[in-house]
Amino acid sequence: MLPDQGTLTQIMILLHIFDGEKKPSAIAKNIGITVQGVQYHMKIMAGKGLIDSGGNITKEGFNFLDTGLSSMRDFVSQSIARLDDVVTWEAIASGRIASGDEVRLEMRDGYLYASASPGKGATGRSRNDAEDGDIVAVTSINGIINVKIGTVSVIVLPDAENLSKNLDLNSITGELHENGKTLLGSIGEEAYVICRKSGIIPDLEYASIHSAFEAGIRGVSSTVLVSNRRFHYLISDIKDLQNRYRDVNVRIKYL
């Protein structure tokens, strides 16, 4: 059970003290209550022996904090488990599926498929009848969906003024073949022209680097062409995306 409001407030105050913040005004601002409220709870905690006269956390205070955080963790875990039982995912039916069937879930080419055939991996339960290729609602997800995370390959082209008219387009198409079956993205006019001259139609043209990372987490690799000039503006985006999609590998190559 989640601790009562007073206990929750005291836990938050103790966490701030643990992090080195003892000023009631700063704590009040961070947790959204008045300074008087913080002082009131600190007086109560001092009376309980949770903090000493210097405002430091005592052994009893650490035990109180550990017990309270454990209760919160258990509450959150149980709540998530209950939500998982009712949360519904969408999947593509692989074969005929009847409402109530236990289905096996797998990723194919970046999309989630559900199949009534037995097998290993994550499972769920269908909420509607579906024919092969139809959309099916799946709930009560159990297990881990195996996904081979894709790679984002960025090919950096010379800037327009340094671009040789004799640029070996075969080197670009060769890179694409080397990367195997991937989505192709282009960023900017130069990359678009290079693709056109190479006889290639990009799969991704807008927000290409973001789409490439999203595809990667779904198991699809991507190759993105961009000029050196535009690449400089992408660096911060790539760093942010790497923090968000930590499992996706990035490969950068300059031509």
Average pLDDT, the chain: 88
Residue 179's CB is within 10 A of a number of other CB atoms, namely 17
User: Do 141 and 84 meet the contact criterion of CB atoms below 8 Å apart?
Assistant: yes
Tell me the pairing of strands 222-227 and 249-254: unpaired
| Region 110-124 average pLDDT | 89
pLDDT confidence of residue 197: 82
Collect all residues with Cβ–Cβ distance below 8 Å to 245 and sequence separation of at least 6. 213, 214, 216, 217
User: Do 147 and 219 meet the contact criterion of CB atoms below 8 Å apart?
Assistant: yes
The pair of structure tokens assigned to 11 is 């836990």
* φ/ψ bin of 199: left (φ > 0), alpha (ψ from -120 to 50), beta (otherwise): left
Start and end residues for every CATH 1.10.10.10 domain found in the chain: 5-85
User: Do 148 and 219 meet the contact criterion of CB atoms below 8 Å apart?
Assistant: yes
Place of tokens 């022996």: 49
Q: Looking only at Cα atoms, what is the longest distance across the chain? A: 81
Distance CA 184, CA 178 (A): 13
Give the bridge partners for 185, in sequence order: 204, 224
* φ/ψ bin of 95: left (φ > 0), alpha (ψ from -120 to 50), beta (otherwise): left
Distance CA 72, CA 80 (A): 12
Give the bridge partners for 138, in sequence order: 89, 126
Decide: pTM greater than 0.85. no
User: How far are the Cα atoms of 20, 184, 239 from residue 196, in angstroms, in the given order?
Assistant: 59, 12, 29
- pLDDT tens-digit series, residues 35-75: 999 999 999 999 999 999 999 999 999 999 999 998 888 88
Q: What percent of the chain has pLDDT over 90?
A: 61
Helix 228-244 and helix 188-197: axis angle, to 10°?
A: 100
CATH class of 5-85: mainly alpha
Start and end residues for every CATH 3.40.1010 domain found in the chain: 151-254
Amino acid at 98: A
Using the predicted structure, report yes or no on whether residue 187 has a pLDDT greater than 90: yes
Distance CA 96, CA 216 (A): 29
- pLDDT tens-digit series, residues 7-40: 999 999 999 999 999 899 999 999 999 999 999 9
Q: Taking the CA atoms of the chain, what radius of gyration do you get in angstroms?
A: 27
CATH number of 151-254: 3.40.1010
